Chain A
Amino acid sequence: MPQMINLTINGKTVTVPSGSTVLEAAQVADVEIPTLCHHPDLTPTGSCRLCVVSVEGMRGPTTACTLPAADGMVVHTETEEVVTLRRFVLSMLLTDHPNECMTCEADGDCELQRWVYQYQVPWPEHSGARHAYPIDSDPNPVVFVDMNKCILCGRCVRVCQEIQGCNVWDFSQRGFDTLVVAGSAQAMLDAGCESCGNCVAYCPVGALFDKPSLGWGRAAYQDKVRTTCTFCGVGCQFDFNLKDGKITRVTSAEDAPVNGLALCVKGRYGWDFIARPDRLTTPLIRDENVTDGPWPGFREAGWDEALDLVAQKLVHYRDTSGPDSVAYLTSAKCTNEETYLMQKLARGIGKTNNIDHCARLCHASTVAGLAATLGSGAMTNTIEDSTSESAAIFVIGSNTTEQHPVIGTKIRHAVRYRGVPLIVADPRRISLTRLPGCLHLQQRPGTDVALVNGLMREILVNGWEDTEYIAQRTEGFEELKETVMQYTLEKTAAITGVPAAKIAEAARILGTHKPGAVFWAMGITQHTTGVMNVMSLSNLQVLLGNLGVRGGGVNPLRGQNNVQGACDMGGLPNVYPGYQPVAANREKFEQAWGVTGLSEKPGLTVVEVMNGAHEGSVKAIYIMAEDPMTSDPDLNHVREALERVDFLVVQDIFMSETAKFADVILPATSFAEKEGTFTNTERRIQRVRTAVEAPGVARADWEILCDVGTRMGYPLTYASPAEIMDEIAQVTPSFAGVHYSRLDRGEQLHWPVKADDHPGTPILHIGQFTRGKGLFKALEHIEPQEAPDAEYPFTMTTGRVLYHWHGGTQSRRSKNLMALYPEPLVEISDQDAASLSIADGDAIKVASRRGEFVARARITDRVAEGLIFSTFHFPDGNANWATGAFLDPVAKIPEYKVSAVRVEKLA
């Protein structure tokens, strides 16, 4: 406990911990001291001098933001002297500031304006020098720069350095000519800008602004709706700014629990997809006679007709071809409540467990692997403790700064500001590997089990394992030891391609820095050995005693905004909500739902559904907000399957690649147009709120599902998603205490939330593992399914880029994001490009045994020789034309990360 000290501020005595500044003490005393350069998230610099206060016994006025509070100190914050000095400082600022409040976007939010008003500083007329910088001086498509308004507080410099970790902004020149520049006075993007706009969020004036929102009305006078971002599993919250029923801007909020004022480029600027004119606005029914208009091949229909058709067909196939001839795909993009309803529809009305979603394609191996070893298939720790309290960080198969950007920045911060040693295992030289001191293990794709075994052997050989922890809390140690002891440094190096010395160094770091946190994503899971990879990492963390402690954990980073929730809500073919196995809980749910005949047989997974459609056993598919024609492997096969299936319903907000094959399309709402909850990667359940009305007659997914269910003969009637959540709480022990009333009070709930008065469980496995003992699984290295050969000499690995998200249905419709990343690019090494005579930007063809695609080449040192990297964000140039559906035997996840391909330069 820090020592407490007492001081007096404006006659009020206040007690604060020693080490507080006078400014912080004043906040405790509820005394406001004006500031401009200060921000509580950033290192104080004391540069604006506005917070001068008078301290008895001190020689002159001094700045409250930099002055440590001392016991017995007597502070006055509004003496005539300091007020005069504040007026002087403000007046000085105005001598080089445009008098443009009438047209300034920051009017009403501007901190300079606020203090000038409060201290009634007259406009200083003078004939001296003023700057006339070019307005809108940077070509960045999302950040507007007007240095004339800059007051040189340096918040942008500090936020870019301290929070975003990009160091784009800095001061240049000196004296009156001092100005903030990007890089060496370059364009922001050339200086390494990630376009997160966090500098805009921290700018106290109108010098930096969100370019897409210029002229859309001032934020200060607009309504705001707090909601949760749709663009990844981090769970950032922000405010939609609204004017005349339209979204004008996204502003971040200091009290957002995960991210504070920080957001990434997608969250801050990707919102413009919501109001795109090509949104689906009315139900559509296939009609080949329609050849023109916005939806060739479809005719517009009323809700009644469309819903009746869907209900009738689903009942028809259920009753004529058997319940398992129908498959339901729920969505990691929709809310918890919607997935709950979808699986209730599939199981309770459709009588099938053929319900799955794209978690199958991302973290199915995590869920299966961790459930087996620990008893719970989710991230064990919170973003906060795993990044700010860990003694070491091991990132394997996660390009965190691009896929989970806000977590990525927290890892950067841990390395730069806490000096935490960072190990990154990734075949690519991703941004994290460039951090100072990062130990990069550049393994050959598909050799993770061997790598982790090698690490564990070194740990055991050096006695760095947690013996007591192993003895008390685990089982299977001897078997594990026997296996991993065979993975000598030499052998591991030979398999993985990582130099032995680096493996030894990584093991030393992990062995001697506890607790350490392990993070992973698709680089681990999307392999035929995905479950084994996950269990290996579980082995490692259990061996080190890093589970059930703050700063440790196995931390799979979930990709989609609600992929965690979609799994939690039973959007999986083998479990009811809360991971209750279908085999063992039939009666419970029959009773709860008032139905009979629930299936005890686990259903089909995503890839199996497509295989079933291909071979004819699956007759009808109801797809909610998923796009297998983009995200599944081997798209030629998927296309054939979708062409063959008898009846396809697609419920979406856009005409997705999959929707083009549909018989009925149901227009749904985006996350900005409905109520609900998302569960982020750290199991935190957060609210999604309605900001704007849906376009046309589009309806929220949960409302559509209710109607379909009702028309299928089982009334699904809920007044609101809150009611659905109450039902979820009744049937799901881990959600027993989750209610909208608690969430709307601001309670931060991480499941399991076992009762109405249970505070939630931020960290799993404290004291005991969910399954009892932590299980060590002895695992041997297995080669990936497809090895490069003479015909297909390259290994292709796939993933995402910062500016796009998943299949791109949303991000490709954001003008802002497309301005930053307009087309698919394939990363290829210098050496390979040279040997194939490929220049940067050349069109190239990538072909595998299954298919081919065309995209432009980006020559980079991020990939090693023999490796190429491509994405699945764009319908053309989609890597999934070439990937194969080689599945993990347990999790049925495809091996997206390793395909053998050929690369050709196009003439």
Chain B
Amino acid sequence: MSKFNREEHHRIMQKHFGIITTPGQFTVALAGNPNVGKSTVFNALTGLHQHTGNWPGKTVDNAQGSFTYLDSSFLMIDLPGTYSILAHTVEEQVARDFICFGKPDATLVVLDATCLERNLNLALQVMEITPHVIVCVNLMDEAIKKNITINISALQKELGVPVIPTAARNGKGLDSLRHALYEMSIGITHTTPRQIHYSPEVERAIQELTPKISRCIGNALNPRWVALRLLDGDSAFIDSITHYLDLENNRKELAV
């Protein structure tokens, strides 16, 4: 990101999400289903450097914590635990809006190794929004106990983003996690996030909408994903777009 973009980013974070970063600090969003040890990961990475509050205008908890790795400072934002980010609940909306409009430098999706299949839904949805995703397969120790073997390198190939196995309770895998977050934040990780294949009728509808969407909102958001939200009839999302993007457009127009 250029200097200007970083400032802009800083401004949006503060204005819309009440998150204040120090100059040069990277932001990491932490997403995951409930009960997958997301908080354990959060606590293990940030230690005591945490503070909690609310999302602006929402009665949803917001916990932030910071840590330093290889002289870089990171601010980690713990998103509410959700099963999806299709925004059927306020929690889902908060998580989605942050990933989508807050544009964190990296989004860490924590998955439960013992029920990976169900958890993958969230990872796939996040990967539709942003390529800056790191998948953390937590509770590996539990999975081994339950005789579940997960082929991490195959999973990484399937998903096209870094996959880190952890057992956060025992502190296992946390170093690799920090390193992956670092590499992604400084921009040396290249990902090819797997896109969800939809059934033909959905794909056809997407094709119909995407050209118009990209003409309207430019590359601020993934047009394919916006098309999906519109097809889902998600009116809250349209509100979000106008709320977050119009402000930016107005400002830019003023600047020009």
A pairs with B: no
Residues of A at under 8 Å CB distance from B?
A: none
Residues of B at under 8 Å CB distance from A?
A: none
